[in-house]
Amino acid sequence: MPHTVHIPVLPDEVVGLLNPQPGKTYIDGTLGGGGHCEAILRRSLQHSPEQAGNITVIGIDKDVHAVDRAEQYLKNVFSDTIGKNVRIRFVHADYRHFEEALDMLGIGKVDGFLLDLGLSSDQLADRQRGFSFDSDGTLDLRFDTSEGVTASELLAKLPEDEIAGLIYRYGEERCSRRIARQIVQRRANGQPVRQARELAEIVRACVPKIWKTNKKGTRSPNIDPATRTFQALRIAVNDELSALENTLKALPGRMNPGGVVAVISFHSLEDRIVKHVFKQGDYWEIITKKPVVADEKEIERNPRSRSAKLRGARYVKTG
């Protein structure tokens, strides 16, 4: 059985932006299945024999299961080079705490920082945590199940207007009021939403399907109607937008001159934050004038890449 079912998005483009070099230090703040980390290390090993590797990569993930899987896999893949000219450090933490991780490892500044935001395919495949719409697992949606409140707990205590506002704000779901009303009515009848499948059924009854037509004239549903609501709850439970903005604003203090930040987003709110922070002050030189997107070949191989937007910026201010 593979260590992961997650396929990294835009790996060549990410490595092209970061341009891993000997003697440098990089952070993969969303380690996931380890695919991007592996690509960074493989690129570093392409240098001349006397320089090959000599690189440090720090893999951070809020999901302890992801850290364990990626650590086992990467240590096996790079068993001949780890400890010699390749150093991989694994940290179970929210990437917003990257400064604490660097302090713990005795590292001052880094030369590259990567974020691949959103949900991984491994988390979607774990039917016990509620990420899969049709699972009977608890509607949890936390990346780190050791802290915070679950999505079901959130829906059990929030007033109707707050549930509607949350779904509209983070999911941009136009039927948010209708969905919130049904959730609260079930709660009042002694049937609070506890399972992912239950929430998906409520949303599908409230949100009309949007159909798309392909080049051959065949019609099919665009996305599952539950997608935006689940996305909104996941963002709220994990405080994802705040984590992204605070991390990007903290980065200038821990980047070496010329260091590169690469961010892959899947949501307009995330992309908006990245664009805004990169334009603030005079810290950043924007490398990607327009977001980098997947080509048709990658989308066919990895449908998740369809909505991915990659932006990169270079740190240019040292003071």
What is the domain range of residue 189?
Answer: 128-238
Same domain, 139 and 227: yes
Q: At residue 231, does pLDDT exceed 90?
A: yes
- Considering 238, 258, 289, which residue would you say is the last residue of a domain? 238
Q: Is residue 3 assigned to a domain? A: no
Sheet of 255-265: strand order equals: 86-92, 55-61, 25-28, 110-116, 255-265, 309-315, 284-286
Condensed to tens digits (0 to 9), the pLDDT of residues 121-133 reads 666 656 677 888 8
Distance CA 235, CA 254 (A): 26
| Domains: count for the chain | 2
Within a domain: residue 187? Answer: yes
Say yes or no: 111 and 247 in one domain: yes
Q: Same domain for 63 and 133?
A: no
Same domain, 109 and 250: yes
In 3D space, the residue among 233, 234, 185 whose CA is nearest the CA of residue 205 turns out to be 185
pLDDT digit string (tens) for 83-141?
Answer: 667 789 999 999 999 999 999 999 999 999 999 997 776 666 566 778 888 888 899 99
- 67, 61 contact by CB (below 8 A): yes
Is 161 part of any domain? yes
User: Residues 6 or more apart from 191 whose CB is under 8 A from it?
Assistant: none
Residue 171, domain CATH: 1.10.150.170
pLDDT in tens, 257-285: 999 999 999 999 999 999 999 998 789 99
Which CATH number covers residue 92? 3.40.50.150
The answer to whether the CB of 202 falls within 8 A of the CB of 268 is no
Residue that is last in its domain, among 238, 269, 290: 238
Average pLDDT value for the chain: 89
Nearest C-alpha neighbor of 58 from the set 31, 33, 94 = 31
pTM of the model: 0.89
Checking if the pLDDT of 1 tops 50, the result is no
115 and 246 within one domain: yes
245 and 117 in a common domain: yes
15 with 118, same domain?
A: yes
State the alpha helices, DSSP H only, in the chain: 11-18, 35-44, 64-77, 98-105, 121-125, 151-157, 160-171, 176-188, 196-206, 227-238, 240-250, 268-279, 296-301
d(CA 308, CA 85): 33
Q: Count CB-CB contacts under 10 A for residue 211.
A: 9
Q: 28 phi and psi, to 5 degrees?
A: -105, 100
